[in-house]
Chains A and B, each alone.
Chain A
Amino acid sequence: MSLSTSGANPLRDPRDRRLPRIAGPSGLVIFGVTGDLSRKKLMPAVYDLANRGLLPPGFSLVGFARRDWENEDFAQVVHEAVKEHARTPFREEVWQQLAEGFRFVPGEFSDDEAFEKLRETVDELDKARGTGGNFAFYLSVPPKFFPSVVQQLKKHGLSSGPGDSWRRAVIEKPFGHDLTSAQELNQVVHEVFRPSDVFRIDHYLGKETVQNILALRFANTMFEPLWNRSYVDHVQITMAEDIGIGGRAGYYDGIGAARDVIQNHLLQLLALTAMEEPSSFDATALVTEKLKALKAVKLPRELGKHTVRGQYAHGWQGGEEVLGYLEEEGIDPNSKTDTYAAIKLEIDNRRWAGVPFYLRAGKRLGRRVTEIAVVFQRAPHSPFDTTDTQELGENALVIRVQPDEGITIRFGSKVPGTSMEIRDVTMDFAYGESFTESSPEAYERLLLDVLLGDANLFPRHQEVEESWRILDPVEAYWDQHGKPEQYTAGTWGPKAADEMLARDGRSWRRP
């Protein structure tokens, strides 16, 4: 009849699926709390989680930044951010409960006193709020500050908690700018935190549609048999933005589209699309399969012919006149930074040999869209006349990652009438139509996973390093050869990109 203190929780049962996973007692410390990301994504995500009842009672949020604020000022800032950006309706009692746990520590990263104060704050929260020594440190700061922040955490005894409590580090991209710098960064962080306690945020992986790739492939029977070189002609992965670099000149110049998004988001999408079935749905099994896929990725021999980069030029986009990249404020007029990048990759394994994966990413393109298009081969033989099937394209399965999340299947159908005429039609599944009107934001899911210690949706350092291994030769080649081609803002990229596919007898989808 008695209950052991260490035994399993009797109120939990795997069959009880109404009970949400609530994180254990814990707190979150955000460095760089005054930044955009923190205000637009992190704070609202914390509130939304609380509103959905997924945060533990006593959850505490500590802000650390170079501002002369009191706790109340900080609470005010969070309040405004939540009111403006939260997904779920504002409820006073949720706010009250949450706001009791807000603390602010002013200071610089080199400031020993500030970190001493941070430690006192953490200890105080353990006593006053029962956070149990469990804290996640979110480094929402430029990577150049990572070394000093993690060293300070170590120095002031913040990197490990009392007893069996946990301390975790959360870092945002960029994870370095090439293989060497990524390794250095990993080394710096791993010196202080164990690799399993470091969570790298790739917010794409928190998106429902991206998680759905796995469901689509491995929970169904009708797609997987076609998911290989026998049926797939090629795969196109596109991430297009309609905005320019905005105020990010300082960050963006010298980085470029390939490092900014291909290295992380697009290669992750590629890994999820191409990988074999994991033995289970846990972090280790997933990493194993994704790593296998990434390791099998091979660059084309002639990089000049199969990679393209571009820079947006002055033009009109969606009815608005916009500046070219070189005219943007803070950009060196001789900059060779790519705002558009397209790369052809092959995956050397039995499933994918000979099937090219075309990756493209860019700014100031036609519209904002991210999608994975699996384009199938044409039927090997057609009983219909060529005139009948003139308007028939290739079958395709398109996973729309954002916006308008969903899946489209494209296939031929007879046009009603007396003649046999076949034309492309689409079958569409829209997330918004079949499921909740607002699915959780990626950051909600990811923050919760950090607090729960669930690493499924976070790229591990091996994946990061492997991705740089793929991209580094391309960047090196670009560095040595020529400069980006200009493309008019508001179009679908430079001509060279079209030529690159035309060389293979293919063309880009218009997303």
Chain B
Amino acid sequence: MNIDLTDTTSSQVNAALVQARRAAGIPAVGMVLTLVIVTDEGNHYDALKAASEASKEHPSRILVVIKRPGRSPRERKMARLDAEVRIAGESGTGETVLLRLHGELAGHAQSVVLPLLLPDAPVVLWWPDDAPEHPSEDLLGRLAARRITDAQATEDPVATLALRARTYTPGDTDLAWTRITPWRSVLAAALDQKHSAITSAVVEGEAYNPSGELLALWLAERLRVPVQRQVSEGPGLTAVRLETADGTICLDRANGSLAELAMPGQPDRHVALQRRDKSELIAEELRRLDPDEMYASAVKFGVSRLGKGISGPAEQPAARAGAGTGGGSGGAAASGSRGKPGGGARPEPAHKAAGAPARTAGGAGDAGTGGAVGKAAS
């Protein structure tokens, strides 16, 4: 059931929600959270589709905030709220409200959203594309217990990671981190078995994929060994190699779905490592709403080292991680001292760098580019 409201207010939207629920004959509210998606007209369809899919696992009230500040001065001055209420049926199990904020109202989204939050239930905020620099200080972000960003959707993913580390507040999380959960679980399971001490590690994956950096940072932080980031053709992450005295523990996924795990002294084994779509990522994010401390330590680990270990001893774990990064997208960072990473500047050089990522031996002493990352981050 759909109800369209033009030039409306939050209380009218609330009334419409109750009316729609009664009409659908589902008075019991089993919804467990409010998911607020902040996006624009162009991107809201995909985001909403993923969220609706995820709401089958987590029945929720989905509020889609679409900002339309307007192009002309006249439009910008006028403020208007249009809403579209959708109940159950095709949009999943919960309720969905599309909120179009016109003109000046686009800057006061929290005033519209606050009255529409479910009582008591936790609030999750998701920026599918452009996220504020400081998610927890954003007016909407402040309403939420959990703030989901996506570094992969930004212009300069690696610099964005550095920014996320600097502005990290408990409750922040990033889909680039969610994407590597299957990798992390297989690697953790591999190390559950007997193995000799790990001396170094390599993470290999396509350029512009912050998941590669995060995985490298996580490994560096947990294992306390030098970790290199190498660039490959993809898709996504392609391999992780952990060097031990007895040989290499290698998890290799060339085709994006079936990986091979090789451990010294053991037969090679296949592991299904499917690349997941956004609805699965969001569903995983919604499963736990407490601060993700592991994400925090991984993402923060990188930032401090990126700053310090510029051309220092190459054995500095994160410096190596940073240097590896340089091999792929360091060019982007080197393109200039942009104030806002992921912001407006067009990172042309980055595209050139990506143009020839053919198995760049990342971190091959590229302290220079690594240093550039450091500068961009600082």
**Minimal Cβ-Cβ distance residue in B for A59:** B269
> What is the total of A-B residue contacts with beta carbons within 8 Å?
124
Q: Which bracket fits the contact residues of A?
A: 35 or more
For chain A residues 1-39, which have a beta carbon within 8 Å of chain B? 1-6, 9-13, 15-20, 22, 24-25
* Interface presence of A128 (CB below 8 A): yes
Considering only residues 35-94 of chain B, those with a C-beta below 8 Å from chain A are 56-59, 93
B-contacting 9-mer, from A306-314, A343-351, A375-383, A426-434: A426-434
A129 to B263, CA, bound (A): 11
What B residues does A97 contact at CB under 8 A?
Answer: 258, 269-272
From A88-96, A244-252, A295-303, A470-478, give the one contacting chain B. A88-96
Chain-A contact segment, one of B1-9, B192-200, B346-354? B192-200
Residues from chain B with a CB closer than 8 A to the CB of A2 are 197
B223 close to chain A: CB less than 8 A: yes
Which residues of B sit under 8 angstroms from A5, Cβ to Cβ? 194-197
Judging by beta carbons under 8 Å apart, are A129 and B272 in contact?
no
Interface stretch (choices B95-103, B202-210, B287-295, B321-329)? B287-295
Residues of A within 8 A of B266 (CB): 58, 130
- Contacts A19-B181, A433-B30; is A3 near B223 (CB within 8 Å)? yes
Min CB gap B276→A, angstroms: 11
- Looking at the complex, which one of B31, B194, B269, B274 makes contact with A129 (CB distance below 8 Å)? B269
Q: How far is the CA of A406 from the CA of B18 in the complex (A)?
A: 24
Residues of A within 8 A of B294 (CB): 13, 15-16, 18
**With A24-B192, A97-B271, A127-B267 known to touch, is A18 a contact of B197 (CB < 8 Å)?**
no
- Asked if B257 lies at the interface with its beta carbon under 8 angstroms from chain A, I say yes
Across the interface, B269 reaches (CB within 8 A) one of A11, A130, A435, namely A130
On chain B, the residues within 8 Å of A127 by CB distance are: 267
A12 touches B195 (CB 8 A): no
Q: Once the chains bind, are B272 and A436 in contact (CB under 8 Å)?
A: no
Q: Tell me if B189 is interfacial: C-beta within 8 Å of chain A.
A: yes
Within 8 A of A (CB), among B7-39: 28, 30-32
Task: Tell me which of B32, B181, B194, B271 contacts A434 (CB under 8 A).
Answer: B32
CA of A53 to CA of B189, assembled, Å: 11
B191 interface residue (CB < 8 Å to A): yes
Q: For the complex, is A239 an interface residue (Cβ under 8 Å from B)? A: no
- Please determine whether A19 and B185 come into contact, CB atoms closer than 8 angstroms: yes
Asked if A18 and B57 make an inter-chain contact with CB atoms under 8 angstroms apart, the answer reads: no
A113 on interface, CB distance cutoff 8 Å = no
Most B Cβ at <10 Å: residue of A11, A19, A129, A434: A11
**CA A74 to CA B294, docked complex, whole Å:** 43
Docked pose: A18 CA to B178 CA in angstroms: 9
Whether B310 sits at the interface, judged by CB under 8 Å, is no
Q: A10-B222, A435-B57, A437-B56 are in contact. Are A22 and B189 (CB under 8 A)?
A: yes
Q: Give the residue among A20, A96, A97, A127 with the most B Cβ atoms within 10 A.
A: A97
Contact assessment for B57 and A3 in the assembled complex, using a CB-CB cutoff below 8 Å: no
Contact of B224 with A by CB under 8 A: yes
Bound state CA distance, A433 and B270, in angstroms?
A: 36
Q: Which residues of A contact B267 (CB under 8 A)?
A: 58, 127-130
Bound together, the chains give a CA A53 to CA B270 distance in angstroms of 12
Q: Tell whether, in the assembled complex, residue B222 and residue A437 are in contact, meaning their CB atoms are under 8 Å apart.
A: no
> Taking beta carbons and an 8 Å cutoff, which residues of A are in contact with B?
1-6, 9-13, 15-20, 22, 24-25, 50-51, 53, 56-58, 91, 93-94, 96-97, 100, 127-130, 132, 428-430, 433-437
The 5 closest A-B pairs by CB, nearest first: A433-B30, A58-B269, A57-B269, A97-B270, A11-B188
